[in-house]
Copies of this chain bind each other. A is one copy, B any other.
């Protein structure tokens, strides 16, 4: 099951807020509907958000009525900013929008821009699927022949074009014959681990156990887990990584228990303009997601809530990154640069 479907005519987003009970798609060609879907996490996962944003901008371009190239591009730029601000932390969103704007700017005839943008959005989607496959292949070699793997949030097909990031690594290793057991943290407040990861792992026949987030430490202490692997929403130039709230705690716990902590993400998640984690904006979510999950009240009225959507894991707690180009070991700052050098593409560094 894919988060985003596009057959050249119809664009569909799976409404992930309703999984696993209800499988319902949002069919739309309206960029505002897509922006709203990103905000309310109907589509989530940094790579999937990037793809959805690319299509949103392509659809928006079709509705701009102007034969003046500069007026057209100005209006497109305004909409691009609107889309970019849907969620502040994931950098793939900005990356995709900027790539789309670059493509638009490369077309001289205004009438040709919408079609070119739609092709570009589809290219981003197809490239993401390929990158996820590559991430899986590069990462699988790091996994042991048998053991337990803790993961957090959802990093599967639903978070990307297809296959996923961290989940692609796990599933590829299992397809290669490795005997792995996954412990999926439920991932409060929105329970992407319970709702989405367990759903995907079950569909793929992976041996998996659901745990509350606060059980992960004890699972490590009991020796049930040999490593942790997560995705990322933004990676600073030095390797500091923003990912779903709870990731930082898992990295500290991995360090304490002397087990590796891996981050799997496409290079579009690396933000070279961001020197370190302190420069990454952290989105805060609505308190109602904590106090009223699925409209059930679990806390007294009007309590104060602190609900950052992400936290920052400092680079020194990360054993290695896995990108579409290979495994990146420390020092990350230098080795990220080698990966983005075209001559080094597809060489593990």
Q: State whether A246 touches B20 (Cβ < 8 A).
A: no
Tally of A interface residues using CB under 8 Å: 53
Q: Is A291 an interface residue (CB 8 A)?
A: yes
Contacts of A300 in B (CB 8 A): 20, 198-199, 202
Query: Which of A110-118, A122-130, A131-139, A306-314 is the interface stretch?
Result: A306-314
Q: State whether A298 touches B195 (Cβ < 8 A).
A: yes
Q: State whether A248 touches B219 (Cβ < 8 A).
A: no
Query: Which of A56-64, A161-169, A210-218 is the interface stretch?
Result: A210-218
Q: Mark A276-309, 1 if CB is under 8 A from B, else 0.
A: 0000000000000011011011111001111110
Contact of A305 among B209, B213, B216, B311 (CB under 8 A): B209
A214-B215 CB under 8 A given contacts A252-B253, A303-B208: no
Nearest first, the 6 A-B pairs at minimum CB distance are: A214-B246, A217-B249, A218-B311, A188-B212, A213-B214, A194-B299
Q: State whether A307 touches B252 (Cβ < 8 A).
A: no
Q: Is A337 an interface residue (CB 8 A)?
A: no
A209-B253 CB under 8 A given contacts A218-B245, A296-B296: no
Q: Is A21 an interface residue (CB 8 A)?
A: yes
Query: Which of A86-94, A179-187, A322-330, A340-348 is the interface stretch?
Result: A179-187
Q: Is A27 an interface residue (CB 8 A)?
A: no
Chain B, residue nearest A314 (CB): B221
Contacts of A249 in B (CB 8 A): 214, 216-218, 249, 253
Contacts of A296 in B (CB 8 A): 293-294, 296
Contact of A214 among B188, B209, B255, B293 (CB under 8 A): B188
Q: State whether A306 touches B211 (Cβ < 8 A).
A: yes
Q: Is A256 an interface residue (CB 8 A)?
A: yes
Rounded to whole angstroms, the CA-CA distance of A120 and B303 in the bound complex is 39
Closest Cβ of chain B to A209, distance in Å, is 5
Q: A188-B213, A218-B245 are in contact. List 15 more A-B contacts (CB 8 A).
A: A183-B306, A194-B298, A207-B304, A208-B303, A212-B245, A212-B307, A214-B214, A215-B307, A215-B308, A216-B249, A217-B246, A218-B248, A218-B311, A252-B253, A294-B298
Q: List 27 A-B contacts (CB under 8 A).
A: A20-B299, A21-B297, A183-B306, A191-B298, A194-B290, A194-B298, A195-B298, A199-B299, A202-B300, A208-B304, A209-B304, A210-B299, A212-B307, A213-B214, A214-B245, A217-B248, A218-B245, A221-B248, A221-B311, A221-B312, A252-B252, A252-B256, A256-B256, A293-B296, A294-B296, A294-B298, A296-B296
Q: Is A260 an interface residue (CB 8 A)?
A: no
Closest Cβ of chain B to A239, distance in Å, is 16
Q: Is A29 an interface residue (CB 8 A)?
A: no
Q: State whether A299 touches B198 (Cβ < 8 A).
A: yes
Contacts of A185 in B (CB 8 A): 214
Q: Is A189 an interface residue (CB 8 A)?
A: yes
Contacts of A202 in B (CB 8 A): 300, 303
Closest Cβ of chain B to A52, distance in Å, is 24
Contacts of A311 in B (CB 8 A): 215, 217-218, 221
